[in-house]
């Protein structure tokens, strides 16, 4: 490209530097938005009751202690139904004062679906007779008090053995035995130390218990209210990828604005 000598070329140096700086900044924004788009698109999350990374191994810790009333059974059923639609890989730990592994880690989330029937109120079979929840496998064995630390400790052991990044989801009314608070604080500290994310789904939990658990989590992780069965869609619904759309628009806009500043103005001193 030929150039036209200008006698006042030194006066154009400042606008030239400004143009270069703006074009460089827009190029950096476009590059950053593109990288963010790629990172977000590679790590999708499933939003059911709580966000679950698809590439994570999720351990569900379910409270079936005596403190769980029949009023909250529908919310347990709703939570299990929602998680069963997530498409994730899960394990299941149930607890009262003791805990045991009901499902090994890594099974399809759909394996939680058979447990939903234990927390589903059947239709009225006799006129005037109120329906009752069917007896579950823990009705006669898990009748003691609540020790949330027992379930969380077993889940922590399971999570540490996973090759995938683990996530633990506690489903409970959070009404813990006062004698269990110190062991619970210790095991929650272990989760923070090992950087294992914990999500909490409350079963009609009291505000005091919610506040306690939000403090034990040690980060801005809210306690999610459990849904009832009639609030759960029949299948998992993929949300609109709003973040990806915004990142794509940002990258495209930055590139368009950068091109608007082209071609570069070139000159030489006369």
CATH of the domain at 198: 3.40.50.410
pLDDT tens for each residue of 225-267: 777 655 555 554 445 456 656 666 766 666 666 566 555 555 5
The partner residues of 171 in beta bridges, in order of sequence, read: 62, 201
* Model pLDDT for residues 87-117, shown as the tens digit of each residue: 788 999 999 888 889 999 989 988 998 988 8
More confidently predicted of 29 and 251 = 29
Of the given ranges (5-9, 145-149, 266-270), which has the lowest mean pLDDT? 266-270
Q: Specify the pLDDT at position 233.
A: 53
Confidence band of 224 (pLDDT split at 50, 70, 90): confident
Question: Above 50 in pLDDT, residue 67?
Answer: yes
Mark whether 92 and 15 lie in a shared domain. Answer: no
* Pair 58, 134 in one domain: yes
Q: Are residues 62 and 185 in the same domain?
A: yes
Tell whether 17 and 100 lie within a shared domain.
no
Q: How confident is the model at residue 183 (pLDDT cuts 50, 70, 90)?
A: very high
Q: What is the predicted pLDDT for the residue at 85?
A: 82
Mean pLDDT, range 62-77, rounded to an integer? 78
Confirm if 54 and 88 have CB atoms less than 8 A apart. Answer: yes
| Residue 253 and residue 221 share a domain | no
**Token representation of residue 24:** 């460089």
pLDDT value at residue 264: 57
**% pLDDT > 70, the chain:** 59
Helices (H), 111-221: 113-116, 148-160, 181-193, 207-217
Query: pLDDT band at 74, cuts 50/70/90?
Result: confident
What's the CA gap between 59 and 98, in Å, rounded? 17
pLDDT score recorded for residue 251: 63
* Residue-level pLDDT at 156: 95
Question: Which of 70-74, 77-81, 159-163 shows the lowest per-residue confidence on average (mean pLDDT)?
Answer: 70-74
Using CB atoms within 10 Å of the CB of residue 190, give its burial: 0 to 12 exposed, 13 to 18 middle, 19+ buried. Answer: middle
- The verdict on 79 and 33 lying in the same domain is no
State mean pLDDT over 200-209.
87
Q: Which domain holds residue 257?
A: 5-43+240-269
Which has more pLDDT, 56 or 99?
99
| Domain identity same for 161 and 258 | no
User: How high is the pLDDT of residue 236?
Assistant: 47
pLDDT (mean) for 19-37: 68
Confidence of residue 44 (pLDDT cuts 50, 70, 90): very low
- Put simply, whether the predicted model's pTM sits higher than 0.75 gets the answer no
Measured CA to CA in angstroms, residue 175 lies from 78, 143, 184, 266 at distances of: 20, 15, 12, 73
d(CA 45, CA 48): 9
More confident residue, 125 or 208: 208
Q: Does 126 share its domain with 257?
A: no
27 with 124, same domain: the answer is: no
| Domain count for the chain | 2
């Amino acid at each position: 490209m030929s150039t036209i000598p200008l006698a006042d070329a030194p006066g154009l140096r400042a606008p030239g530097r400004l143009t270069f700086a703006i074009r460089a900044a827009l190029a950096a924004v476009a590059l950053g938005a593109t990288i963010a788009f790629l990172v977000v698109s590679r790590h999708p999350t499933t939003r059911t009751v709580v966000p679950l990374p698809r590439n994570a191994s999720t351990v569900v810790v379910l409270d079936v202690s005596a403190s769980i009333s029949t009023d909250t059974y529908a919310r347990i059923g709703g939570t299990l139904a929602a998680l069963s639609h997530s498409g994730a890989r899960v394990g299941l730990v149930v607890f009262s004062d003791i805990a045991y592994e009901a499902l090994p880690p890594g099974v399809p989330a759909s394996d939680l679906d058979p447990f939903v029937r234990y927390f589903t109120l059947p239709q009225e079979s006799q006129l005037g007779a109120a329906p009752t929840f069917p007896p579950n496998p823990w009705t006669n064995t898990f009748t003691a008090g609540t020790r949330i630390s027992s379930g969380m400790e077993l889940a922590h052991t399971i999570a540490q053995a996973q090759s995938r990044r683990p996530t633990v989801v506690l489903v409970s009314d959070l009404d813990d035995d006062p004698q269990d608070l110190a062991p619970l604080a210790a095991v929650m500290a272990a989760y923070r130390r090992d950087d294992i994310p914990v999500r909490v789904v409350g079963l009609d939990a009291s505000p005091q218990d919610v506040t306690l658990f939000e403090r034990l989590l040690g980060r801005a992780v809210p306690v999610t209210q459990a849904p009832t069965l009639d609030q759960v869609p029949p299948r998992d619904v993929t949300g609109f990828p709003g973040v990806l759309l915004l990142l794509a628009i940002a990258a495209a806009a930055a590139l368009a604005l950068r091109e608007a500043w082209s071609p570069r103005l070139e000159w030489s001193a006369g």
